[in-house]
Amino acid sequence: MEFYHADSIVDIHKRLISSLPSSYVPPPALTRCGARTCTAGKLWKRASENRRADAHDLAGADLLRALAKRGIEADFVDKCKQSLVRTFDNIKRQREREMREAEEEAKMEKRRAEEEEAMEEARLRKEAYEKDWTNFIEGLKVNKEVEVGEDGNPVTMNGIGIEQLGHSDKALKFYQTVLKFDPDQSQCRKQYRGLKKVIKHLKNAEEQIQKGYNKAASGFIDECLSAMRGLDVDSPLFRSKIQLKLCTILSNMDKAEEALSHCDKAVMARSDSSVSASMKKEAFLARGDALVQDMDYDEAVGDYRSALDLVPDDAEEKRELHVKLQQAIRQQ
């Protein structure tokens, strides 16, 4: 509604008032100012207060009530009408703002509903996906194409690189085998491509570390983390391989505090009894190296000893780790 003439507003107000039943009695809060009936001056004052408080509807109503009073002076009438026009302009802008806010809220509500719907669809897809995996792996076990995890759950499939990048080759073989039996497994294909990309970035990071290019290695780790966002599976074990790489990179860059933070997380992630000894050893060894870099030899000796206890009967590996341990002990 647009009103630009005070007389038009007043005329509409009069018609609305005249259409009310004779028995209608306005609420006292609208017509009384304290214990007495509001005068035109009091209504003007209250309207001014309401306008300052952005209560333009109430201000407009009080101005109309003031104009309806009998015996008011002409200059007061003009002043009320001018204020009434400004008030209704403010009401118009306020309504437009409220409409915009309502539209934005409706859009947000729609987005929330779409997100909830998407989450529900994702949950249903996940259930169907896991059911398909169970059926596939049961069939593949017969042909001895894949191994089943220690927990006996074919979906987790011996924990292989789906959750532990240390077994990435087995994970890729699993996906390849599933896709061989059913190329239409789009979700499996997506996981296969995503995991392949993650492993590629990890290998590139390792190559840069070996060359001493730690900044370049850090860039590959960032790409690896970005690629991981496209995978359905994410867990502390899955990320521990990346955390160990970050530990080594940051340690080489003399950022000991950040490096050890990543190493601590990796050691914690691999502390479970179900994690292989080789993965635990790898975490202790990486943290031990970072502690030596930080000249914390006491803690390094503890990690090297923990790693040594986990080394299998491999004379060469035991000898190399024993040398690290003795060097750290001499530095204590």
> pLDDT per residue over 287-311, tens digit each?
999 999 889 989 989 999 998 888 8
Residues 18, 19, 21: CA angle, nearest 5 degrees:
100
Q: Which of 25-39, 79-93, 176-190 has the highest mean pLDDT?
A: 79-93
Q: Which residue has the higher pLDDT, 82 or 4?
A: 82
pLDDT confidence of residue 6: 67
Q: Which residues have C-beta within 8 Å of that of residue 168, sequence separation ≥ 6?
A: 161, 195, 199
pLDDT of residue 329: 86
Between 183 and 222, the higher pLDDT residue: 222
Give the CATH number of domain 168-331; options: 3.40.190.10, 1.10.580.10, 1.25.40.10, 3.40.640.10.
1.25.40.10
Percent of the chain with pLDDT over 90: 11
Provide the residue ranges of all domains of the chain, joining segments of one domain with +.
6-107, 168-331
pLDDT at 148: 45
Predicted pLDDT at 289: 92
With contact defined as beta carbons under 8 Å apart, do 177 and 145 qualify?
Answer: yes
The token pair that represents 95 in the structure block: 């309504």
- Share in percent of the chain as helix, strand, coil (round to 5): 75, 0, 25
Determine the pLDDT at residue 78: 86
Cβ neighbours of 265 (radius 10 Å): 18
Please tell me the least confidently modeled range out of 2-6, 51-55, 205-209, 223-227.
2-6
Q: Are 160 and 176 in contact (CB under 8 A)?
A: no
Q: Which one has a higher pLDDT value, 120 or 97?
A: 97
Tell me the β-bridge partners of 32.
37
pLDDT band at residue 165 under the 50/70/90 scheme? very low
Task: Give the confidence band of 332 by pLDDT, cuts at 50, 70, 90.
Answer: confident
> Is the pLDDT confidence value at 12 over 60?
yes
pLDDT beyond 70 at 133: no
As a whole number, mean pLDDT of residues 43-61 equals 87
Question: Is residue 164 predicted with pLDDT exceeding 50?
Answer: no
- Whole-angstrom distance, CA of residue 227 vs CA of residue 202: 11
**Mean pLDDT in the chain?**
79
Q: What are the pLDDT digits (tens) for 239-274?
A: 888 889 999 999 889 888 888 999 999 999 888 877
At 195 the pLDDT is 81
Residue 178 CB partners (closer than 8 Å, separation 6+) = 133, 136, 140, 185, 188
Name the pLDDT band for 285 (thresholds 50, 70, 90). Answer: very high
- For residue 235, what pLDDT is reported? 62
Contact 72/66 with Cβ under 8 angstroms? Answer: yes
Lowest-confidence region among 1-15, 86-100, 210-224: 1-15
Q: Residue 154's pLDDT is what?
A: 41
